[in-house]
Amino acid sequence: MALRLPGFSRGWDLTALLNAADPQAPLAERNLWLVRLVEWLRHAPAPKDESRGAGPTPMPLRRLKHLLNVLERHPDHARAFAGVIASVWADVDAVSLFAEVGFAPRMALWHEFLGRLRRRLLPDSADTRDLATLFELLFPDEEDEHWIAALDDELLERLSLLFAGAPEGDWREEMREAVTVLIGSVHASGLAGPLRQRMDPKLLQNRPFTRLATAWEQTDTALQDGDVQALPARLQYLRGLLDECRRALRSIPDHLEAHGVSVDLMFSVEQMESRLRRVEDLLACLLAPHPRRELLRLVSSLVGVVHERRSLRTLFARHYSLLARKVAERSAETGEHYITRNRQEYRDMLRRAGGGGAVIAGTTFAKFAIMALGLSAFWSGFWAGANYALSFVLIHLLHWTVATKQPAMTAPAMAAKLQHVDNAEGVQGFVDEVAHLFRSQTAGILGNLAVCAPLVLGVQLLCQWAFGRPLVGAKDAHHVLETLTLLGPSLLFAAFTGVLLFSSSLIAGWVENWFVFHRLDSAIAWNPRIVARLGQARAQRWSAWWRANISGLAANISLGLMLGLVPALLGFFGLPLEVRHVTLSTGQLAAAAGALGMPVLSLPAFWLCVAGILFTGFLNVGVSFYLALRVALRSRGIRVDQQRALRAAIWQRLRRAPLSFLLPPR
């Protein structure tokens, strides 16, 4: 006999739903009947006898009381109801509910992301013997956790009617099997190399993960045999091992903080800690003399876990905040070199920025030469990117600087000062750091432009005097005036370039974290083949050099290639975005001025380009700094009210001492 379920679009009928209860129906139809029943509890209109005086009682509890009243008045319905519950329980795999709900089948973050995405996009079927899948269909609403937890003792007593047809020992046997599955997973993962090698060795001296499985077997035997004399000692020993395993797991983040972050490892740690908590919850149910309240807490927590595991935002927010912090800290180590705090450091910044401007002058002419070759879009972008990357790497190796690279690195360094913003002294220290940063950025831009523009202009005039024509001709000069003008899309391109500048800092932080996490500096210093080829002293020097420069090389190479290749690749998809880099644009405008001569000063187009360059510098710096600061603030967990207080303090300093943002202190 097939179930004939009533329609639920309007006029939901409890009588029709109870009449459809059939313990002999196929499992898929019984599962669907349970789903419809919970839907009725959640969304049915209030019965007349329950609609008044309900107060704050949740609607599902009011429906549940009405349901129990009906079942108590109609024994035939109650027997059929209990029969459906008992038959479903007998035909499904309940171990999956206790041992698998809330846990990833494989302890890898991206596998879990794809699994969650699949569950969000693809519908589940009620034709299943997996109680975990049925559980998700029964409780798809986030509010289910709250009304289930609100069940009182009287209602729990009456609710036992729903499970009257199920033997009492069944759920205990399923729970013991679930504990065996959970203990086995913790045992295997705890002994696996990636986690074991990162635990505190002192916490592993008692070999808690090795002894865990045997301890549970002994406890399980005592539970099944009802050995009340042996059970307390065995249970105490098991829980002691569980605590030791938990302490060993909590030592892993300290290791990662010092030796590089892996979100997959942190995901594995959280999964194992969750399994240990689930074991404790199941033991509480198994050991309680009257387990109804413990079972209720377990079901309520399982509903919450189901909804948490559906959330993609929760998955990434928790794990990538850790990676954001580590990327920010790696960038902060480099960013400290870009912040000046006294006049000597300020003059040194001007000198280093001037050196960077000289290299960018050569980069400008190299770019014109590449464009003159008439290559295809991809190869033109590739060689332009290689030109930028080579120039940036040269500047890095010479310990010079390009001003637009500073913000993405200095924002994390500045955010590192946010640890004590909960007091007035900490806020003022942060404002001081903002002033140092703004002053350093200004010095970097001035040094770049003050050398790049005159040098490019001087080369143009020298070639005009020596060869009768400048390196960059009038045709290219007019093209520069057309593309760099303030009236065109230059401001959009400048903001887009700021995003690329920020992206390069992320790549640098990620590459350095990867380098440290895999201990490549140690491998260079102590790998037998490398030591045999280089010698021990040289291998040590190479190790130190790569550790000190890996972030800078990654940032400069990635930035150069992105500046050249990303516009070409976006153009392939019909997105005509270009880059506008303030120092490169200044060099191009200086080359145009050298080609057109003094009359260019009378052209409005030239001054529109000058204005465009000013705004380009502001957007390059502002966008990259804003994005980097957002990542850094997130990594530090700065609250919204604290951010408001910081902004107010900065504006107060700007009104009181505006020159402190431009000139170094004496």
Within this chain, do residues 420 and 491 fall inside the same structural domain, yes or no?
yes
> Could you tell me the residue range of the domain that residue 173 belongs to?
94-128+166-310
Within this chain, do residues 403 and 444 fall inside the same structural domain, yes or no?
yes
Task: Give the domain-ending residue among 251, 276, 310.
Answer: 310
Q: Report the CATH number that the domain containing residue 513 is assigned in CATH.
A: 1.20.1080.10
- The residue with greater pLDDT, 158 or 590, is 590
**Residue 497 belongs to a domain:** yes
Give how far the C-alpha of residue 95 lies from the chain's centroid of Cα atoms, to the nearest Å. 32
> Three-state SS string across 9-55, please?
CCCCCHHHHHHCCCCCCCHHHHHHHHHHHHHHHHHCCCCHHHCCCCC
For 31-50, how does the pLDDT look when each residue is reduced to its tens digit (9 = 90+)?
999 999 999 988 755 544 44
Within this chain, do residues 292 and 386 fall inside the same structural domain, yes or no?
no
- Number of structural domains the chain divides into: 2
Residue 402 has pLDDT above 90, yes or no: no
Within this chain, do residues 188 and 306 fall inside the same structural domain, yes or no?
yes
Within this chain, do residues 360 and 471 fall inside the same structural domain, yes or no?
yes
Task: Give the domain-ending residue among 266, 281, 310.
Answer: 310
> Three-state SS string across 191-248, please?
HCHHHHCCCCHHHHCCCHHHHHHHHHHHHHHHHHHCCCCCHHHHHHHHHHHHHHHHHH
Residue 338 has pLDDT above 80, yes or no: no
Give how far the C-alpha of residue 572 lies from the chain's centroid of Cα atoms, to the nearest Å. 30
**Residue 8 belongs to a domain:** no
**Residue 43 belongs to a domain:** no
Q: Mean pLDDT throughout 116-141?
A: 86
Within this chain, do residues 176 and 233 fall inside the same structural domain, yes or no?
yes
For 641-656, how does the pLDDT look when each residue is reduced to its tens digit (9 = 90+)?
777 888 888 889 888 8
Within this chain, do residues 448 and 491 fall inside the same structural domain, yes or no?
yes
**Residue 50 belongs to a domain:** no
For 461-515, how does the pLDDT look when each residue is reduced to its tens digit (9 = 90+)?
999 999 999 999 999 999 999 999 999 899 999 999 999 988 888 888 788 888 9
Angle between helix 75-91 and helix 59-73 axes, rounded to 10 deg: 120
DSSP summary character for residue 6: P
**Residue 57 belongs to a domain:** no
Confidence class for position 336, pLDDT limits 50, 70, 90: low
Confidence class for position 54, pLDDT limits 50, 70, 90: very low
Q: 591 and 471 in contact (C-beta within 8 Å)?
A: yes
Within this chain, do residues 377 and 493 fall inside the same structural domain, yes or no?
yes
> Residue 166 in 3-state DSSP?
coil
Rounded to the nearest integer, the mean pLDDT of the chain is 85
**Residue 453 belongs to a domain:** yes
Phi and psi of 29, rounded to 5°?
-75, -35
Residue 254 has pLDDT above 70, yes or no: yes
Within this chain, do residues 602 and 571 fall inside the same structural domain, yes or no?
yes
Task: Give the domain-ending residue among 276, 310, 344.
Answer: 310
Helix/strand/coil percent split, the chain, to 5? 80, 0, 20
Q: 426 and 596 in contact (C-beta within 8 Å)?
A: no
Confidence class for position 153, pLDDT limits 50, 70, 90: confident
Within this chain, do residues 281 and 399 fall inside the same structural domain, yes or no?
no
Within this chain, do residues 609 and 500 fall inside the same structural domain, yes or no?
yes
Q: What percent of the chain has pLDDT over 70?
A: 87
Confidence class for position 51, pLDDT limits 50, 70, 90: very low
Tell me, what's the pLDDT at 504? 87
Residue located via tokens 């005159």 = 454
Within this chain, do residues 232 and 333 fall inside the same structural domain, yes or no?
no
Tell me, what's the pLDDT at 322? 60
Tell me, what's the pLDDT at 167? 45
Calculate ∠ Cα 550-624-554, nearest 5°.
15
Tell me, what's the pLDDT at 9? 40
**Residue 362 belongs to a domain:** yes
**Residue 269 belongs to a domain:** yes
